[in-house]
């Protein structure tokens, strides 16, 4: 990026600050070499930036570009039939037990090649990009065999080469028990999941390792084996934990110093304490809560009490959260989970970056990556408050 200064911005820096949102009225940001060189109040702009080219933000809201830190965006097929079933009162768990759910997306995904997976995922990626998203985490987990798990990750990497987006991949081989291993989950972990992880790592396809610790998926003992392998490969871990019941996933995540523990509706106080001690980010996924008509809310007050950082994400997937909007996620996080609009914005910027182990993203401050979203808004709470409306003017990037 050529050197320039953005001036006259309502700056929500999302950086640690005494001001809510890290807000700076009449702010300026100096950019050079793809990084933020300076940011602050415009009348304090240091002399050395005075001859930089100026871009006037006309008082509009400037935030860091957004980060969706939990998605299953690469997949084939849809599960609208299950949506119909759930509306007649059949539960997500019942659908999974009768051979639907995740394993039905597995069949569709196994039938697609990498080109097709990219083509099918692109409109969902584009929907996020149109809302100022610059970083997307993408999981495998609809292959459950080596070839398809790797193909999903290859598709994820390809997406980063054809769109202006940073992709962080997570290997989610321990997502569900495939039909061919139905009675032998331990054998699946040993014979498929762990070797596939090693192979994906060899091809540089894996940035982190995830698992689904739940009564309809894997026990914490089974996931621990996968995490041990991740540790041997020096890969960070994250975990779908306590989504549908309390299974001890948070403790397991904490034991491995996980980057994040995600969902967490059934998390208890001991689990919150464990996450706090480990510095693990709690990623809340209101789209899944909403879609499944859940009743048990995540323990937001306890997370605040123990100062566990809270991120939010779309969980974009064909079953429990067919949602490709981070703005709607922010609205739901406030309206349903009672997050403040400030927590929601930090949840898709600073905290989401932390959940992905990205130190220089998700905030506007010196030394951070210069990648911003300019909105037709005058107050940052507007981003959470509107429903089904996208006020993005442009993404400003290097």
Residues that bind ligand DI6 (CB under 6 A): 72, 101-102, 105, 175, 212, 240, 243, 288, 315, 317-321
Tokens of 157: 């990497």
| Dihedrals phi, psi of 162, to nearest 5 degrees | -115, 0
Residue (262 or 342) nearer to ligand DI6, CB = 262
Say how many Å lie between the first and final Cα of the chain, rounded: 5
List of residues 6+ apart from 10 with CB closer than 8 A: 23, 24, 25, 26, 27, 57, 59, 60, 61, 62, 377, 378, 379
With binding defined as CB under 5 A, does residue 242 bind Fe ion? no
Smallest distance, ligand DI6 to C-beta of residue 149, A:
15
- Smallest distance from the beta carbon of 374 to ligand DI6, in angstroms? 32
Using the rule CB under 5 A, is 315 a contact of Fe ion? Answer: yes
For ligand DI6, which is the closer residue by CB, 88 or 161?
A: 88
Nearest CB to ligand DI6, comparing residues 37 and 214: 214
Closest CB to ligand DI6 belongs to which residue?
A: 319
Tell me which of ligand DI6, Fe ion, none is bound by residue 14, counting a contact when its beta carbon lies within the kind-specific cut-off of 5 to 8 angstroms.
Answer: none
DSSP state of 218: B
Q: What residue 149 binds from ligand DI6, Fe ion, none (CB within 5 to 8 A, per partner kind)?
A: none
Burial of 357 (0-12, 13-18, 19+ CB in 10 A): middle
**CB-based burial of residue 173 (10 Å sphere; 0-12 exposed, 13-18 middle, 19+ buried)?**
buried
Residue 65 CA to chain centroid, in angstroms? 14
Residue 319, binding choice from Fe ion, ligand DI6, none, Cβ under 5 to 8 Å by partner class: ligand DI6
User: Closest distance between ligand DI6 and the C-beta of residue 186, in Å?
Assistant: 19
Residue 101: name its binding partner from ligand DI6, Fe ion, none (Cβ under 5 to 8 Å by kind).
ligand DI6
Q: By CB under 5 A, which span of 78-86, 152-160, 296-304, 311-319 interacts with Fe ion?
A: 311-319
Angle between helices 114-129 and 146-162 (to 10 degrees): 50
Measured between alpha carbons, how far is 354 from 279 in angstroms, rounded to an integer? 10
Nearer to ligand DI6, 67 or 288 (CB): 288
**Interface residues with Fe ion (CB under 5 A)?**
315
């Amino acid at each position: 990026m050529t050197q320039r200064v953005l001036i006259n911005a309502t700056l929500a820096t999302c950086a640690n600050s005494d001001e809510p949102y890290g807000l700076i009225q009449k702010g300026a940001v100096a950019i050079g070499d793809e990084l933020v060189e300076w940011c602050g109040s415009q009348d304090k702009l240091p002399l050395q930036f005075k001859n930089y080219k100026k871009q006037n933000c006309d008082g509009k809201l400037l935030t860091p570009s957004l980060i969706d830190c939990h998605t299953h965006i690469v997949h084939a097929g849809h599960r609208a039939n299950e949506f119909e079933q759930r509306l007649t009162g059949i539960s997500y768990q019942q659908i999974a037990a009768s051979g639907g759910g995740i394993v039905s997306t597995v069949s569709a995904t196994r039938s697609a090649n990498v080109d097709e997976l990219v083509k099918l995922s692109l409109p969902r990626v584009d929907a996020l990009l149109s809302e100022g998203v610059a970083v997307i985490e993408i999981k495998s987990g609809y292959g459950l065999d080596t070839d398809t798990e790797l193909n999903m990750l290859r598709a994820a990497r390809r997406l980063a080469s054809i769109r202006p987006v940073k992709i962080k991949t997570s290997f989610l081989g321990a997502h569900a028990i495939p039909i061919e291993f139905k009675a032998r989950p331990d054998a699946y972990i040993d014979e498929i999941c762990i070797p596939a992880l090693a192979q994906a790592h060899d091809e540089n396809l894996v940035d982190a390792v995830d698992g689904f610790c739940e009564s309809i998926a894997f026990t914490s003992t089974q996931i621990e084996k996968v995490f041990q392998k991740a540790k041997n490969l020096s890969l960070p871990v994250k975990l779908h934990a306590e989504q549908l019941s309390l299974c001890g996933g948070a403790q397991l995540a904490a034991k491995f110093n996980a980057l994040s523990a995600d969902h967490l509706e059934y998390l208890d106080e001991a689990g919150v304490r464990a996450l706090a001690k480990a510095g693990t980010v709690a990623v809340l996924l209101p789209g899944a809560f909403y879609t499944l008509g859940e009743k048990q809310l995540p323990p937001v007050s306890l997370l605040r009490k123990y100062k566990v950082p809270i991120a939010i994400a779309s969980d974009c997937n064909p079953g429990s959260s067919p949602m490709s909007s981070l703005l709607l996620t922010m609205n739901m996080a406030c309206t349903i989970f009672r997050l403040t609009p400030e927590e929601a914005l930090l949840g898709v910027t600073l905290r989401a970056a932390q959940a992905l182990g990205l130190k220089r993203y998700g905030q506007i401050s010196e030394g951070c990556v210069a990648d911003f979203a300019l909105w037709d808004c005058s107050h940052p709470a507007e981003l959470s408050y509107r429903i089904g409306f996208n006020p993005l003017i442009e993404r400003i990037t290097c």
